[in-house]
Structure 1
């Protein structure tokens, strides 16, 4: 039960959200536009009716002639004035609201409150209104006040028209407007759907590529994405490569650990077997087993460090680490460890040079390299650091016997050593290689002018 809300939220995809939002906005816009157009059309129809009624009044005024307290109007140009119940009616009222003339079309028109048509009407003023009449429905009317010189009296000329035609006209417009807006809504909805489908294609392709990577059908995401997704796909590719490297390192670590422990265990087993046959434990045998245990401890420590490097993967965010203080600290510590060799060391490190990465990584790399330099060097060590065009270069020289060219690749491999006399397991440079690789750098081994070894590290770093 508790997972249903999660599934419901998951069902609202980005496309559905956009469709819903666009649909609501479209409905509000078309509804508001429809109301505005409908009101504007009603006002235009009402204005047209009023203008038409005023023209009818002027037509009555143009032909009206006073006759025995009333008015005589010959046959009018608009024949509807002469047709009973035609929907167009004419009347003339005196100042008291009494009817003095009506058109033949208004013979059946029941007007019980005609004074309202001209009550308070001023000379030259036109008044408009509407009125419901029994059997005829709603009428719209216009009343115009005038003064007739021959009779010295004020009159009101009134024209009335059935509102049915204008009402039908408005309803037809509303019906057409609904059809137009309905068609427009459908057209815009289809266009919006197609545009969303087109706009969502990169996301769909991204989902398919991620599924292909998950299924083992692909190794990485392609780089052809819109600019808004480039950062996402680039970081995903980095994470994918980091995960793949980490898995490879785990597998390599387990394999190397098993392979590295096999030899010490075999030696210990052989020593125990020999002691069993001799029925006495020789000191040499105990020393041999102790040496093998120390070796296994170093191997396990090394593999654990490699596992940590594999877990970290390639570093994405890097902080600057001051180079000179760290090197000074290492040189001081190692000088005390190898104090009996009386090693003279020098450094050439600008104060403003920094390493962009973890301090522990820099300590691990330089600690192993300097330890080898103190161990295999005779009496001199030099550390030189330079940064040029975004490349950080670190050189460590010693005055030992150096490393033969044929052994230079070999010594960088895990467990390999060029010197089998000095104690150690040949894992120091291998750790350095792992860390340098994690930072996208390179390590090289050369001879120097002293005849000893030169270890050079290179990193591409921002200027």
Structure 2
């Protein structure tokens, strides 16, 4: 399963955090609004309790000379109620009709009040203020308990209206924060894009190392990668030198074996001499190939070569050879094109292909070029007999060594293949009927 990108991860995390904060904000604002509404309602209930006390006259027991004239206390089940205990029996507002509010048996201390939530008539939920006061003076003062209540439906409707007004604003704020989070993530990840650009420049040969011109957060990573590249280059250099030393070490013993084979032939032991020469030839072929591979540059990303002047020099040399002297050499290469390969490696690869074409051509060798995306194919075509299709298919198979091919192939094509692969390219052989086309596909230099 492919992991999510850093940008998507940060955006999801930031979006989830913003939405969570918005949800918590809505909840907290709703709670604060409810508390504010309740404080306002309790303050209104205290004012109503004072109005109710104003119609109670001191006495033994105290008397209510008349009920308050508030219309909301006169309309049955209006949602605004009062209940007073002047003795054992409670007096109720006309709005309660025949309903008695269910209140706790114990009254609050005189001079204090408490806020209650009670069940009212018609399944109403009431917010009530329960108070006990003393009417009169001194020892003749009489305690009076009174409750003033109102329906909480008005508070619920006010809360719903508040949330309806609040949610669009919070949604707009959330959208603004999400946009700001996107900008923040984009700007924060820009240094990683800079690292990617440096890596592309490294792969395309425009940079030798990532360098230190990066933000401090990613600079240690860049330095570690540069150290790894330095270690790799040193290790490759040592391996190439060891391979070259080993191959050179074999050349002298092989030359001595050829001398022994010649001595055996002089003694008349032709069969043994031929066997030794065959073995030595095979071994020298392997040694020559390893020497050529040891010379291949492994830092092709930093290399640059122009194929046009290289082909011109090689053709000039081949015109003076017996195989190339009588051929019509047609070269059509633009001078400005540069390939991402070491010039010596390109010279060796093109030399092998041109020499092979001169050896098999009947009368003409054509050299051209074709651009394919970020690569360029140098095409060398002759008008010779070509290669049998069965052999060509076998040579194109993955893992088959070209130096085991048919007549005249030797190790030249194997060396060209090694050079092309080391530079990030490939060698492709195509039967043209007549002739054979060798296409050397190599990365094009950005310059």
TM-score tier, shorter chain, comes to: 0.3 to 0.5
**Given the two structures, how large is their TM-score scaled by the length of structure 2?**
0.48
Greater relative contact order: 1 or 2 (C-alpha under 8 angstroms, separation 6 or more)?
2
**Given the two structures, how large is their TM-score scaled by the length of structure 1?**
0.46
